[in-house]
Chains A and B, each alone.
Chain A
Amino acid sequence: RKEVEQDPGPFNVPEGATVAFNCTYSNSASQSFFWYRQDCRKEPKLLMSVYSSGNEDGRFTAQLNRASQYISLLIRDSKLSDSATYLCVVNWGDSGGGADGLTFGKGTHLIIQP
């Protein structure tokens, strides 16, 4: 199922700053990509799906580069509440068959400082 690599951080960023995370994945056949957010001792929750055309949700922008097998997340105007671990996630499954499951990166720890 191969791997997902991301910088574990921590990233210490002042409130209001812009921060970018990147990750790479090794399975070129992967078809589905996500960023999940995980707060301390909580379950992962979907932040956003990632599409080849790039997508934006408020202050968050995600990009996918299939040729480079690279995924990014940009957070603008960061808030204290953005402090969390951000997990880069790839579904190694086959949309036409039964294979289905997520491979997670180790997560990037973000700390927004007042």
Chain B
Amino acid sequence: DTGVSQDPRHKITKRGQNVTFRCDPISEHNRLYWYRQTLGQGPEFLTYFQNEAQLEKSRLLSDRFSAERPKGSFSTLEIQRTEQGDSAMYLCASKPEGSGLGEQFFGPGTRLTVL
């Protein structure tokens, strides 16, 4: 499968624990995005990277959230001291350089449940 992959697909954790999700974009896609989707809502933008540089961060990305893309390939999203309100689907997307404002390709998501 050459699409965007995310790991894990599901995560159940207790409130207060830290969690980390991984996203592997499509090969050679230099732009990588993180979104969060709660039940009954559309995805909401969190942050995006061009190569290893984090270029945009949403105000939704509180100080408990941190995202990295150290080598410009895979990315990680960490949530510290999880809260029940963090329960959501975390989606990663990527697109190639030169595609302007074109299509983003989404991974299957990581579904987080905070108990």
Task: Categorize the interface residue count of chain A.
Answer: 20 to 34
Which residues of A are interface residues toward B (Cβ below 8 A)?
Answer: 1, 4, 8, 31-32, 34, 41-46, 49, 87, 89, 91, 93, 95, 98-107
Instruction: Determine chain A's interface SS by DSSP, over half rule.
Output: loop
> Which chain B residues lie closer than 8 Å to A8 at the CB level?
40
| Chain A residues within an 8 Å CB radius of B100 | 32, 95
Q: How many A-B residue pairs have CB under 8 A?
A: 61
Residue among B45, B91, B103 with max Cβ neighbours from chain A (10 Å): B103
CB distance B45 to A106 under 8 Å? no
Q: Mark B90-115, 1 if CB is under 8 A from A, else 0.
A: 01000000001111111111010000
Q: Pull 7 A–B residue pairs with CB atoms less than 8 Å apart, ordered by A.
A: A8-B40, A44-B91, A49-B102, A87-B43, A101-B33, A102-B45, A106-B42
Least Cβ distance of B106 to chain A in Å? 4
Give 16 new A-B contacts, CB below 8 A, not counting A4-B42, A100-B33: A34-B103, A43-B108, A44-B91, A44-B106, A45-B106, A87-B43, A91-B101, A93-B101, A95-B100, A100-B48, A101-B56, A101-B58, A102-B33, A102-B104, A106-B40, A107-B42
CB distance from B85 to the nearest CB of A (A): 18
B45 touches A99 (CB 8 A): no
State in angstroms the CA–CA spacing of A107 and B40 once bound together: 8
Residues of B within 8 A of A105 (CB): 42
Q: Are the C-beta atoms of B48 and A101 separated by less than 8 Å?
A: yes
The answer to whether B101 touches A104, judged by C-beta atoms less than 8 angstroms apart, is no
Q: Which residue on chain A has the smallest CB distance to residue B44? A: A104
> A98 and B50 in contact (CB under 8 A), knowing A34-B103, A43-B109, A46-B103?
yes
Q: Are A106 and B56 in contact (CB under 8 A)?
A: no
Smallest beta-carbon distance A60→chain B, Å: 15
Closest Cβ–Cβ distance, residue A47 to chain B (whole Å): 10
Bound CA–CA A32/B104 (angstroms): 12
Contacts of B55 in A (CB 8 A): 98-100
CB-CB nearest in chain B for A107: B42
Chain B residues with CB under 8 A of A101: 33, 45, 48, 56, 58
B42 to A32, Cβ gap below 8 A? no
Residues in A whose Cβ lies below 8 Å from that of B107: 43
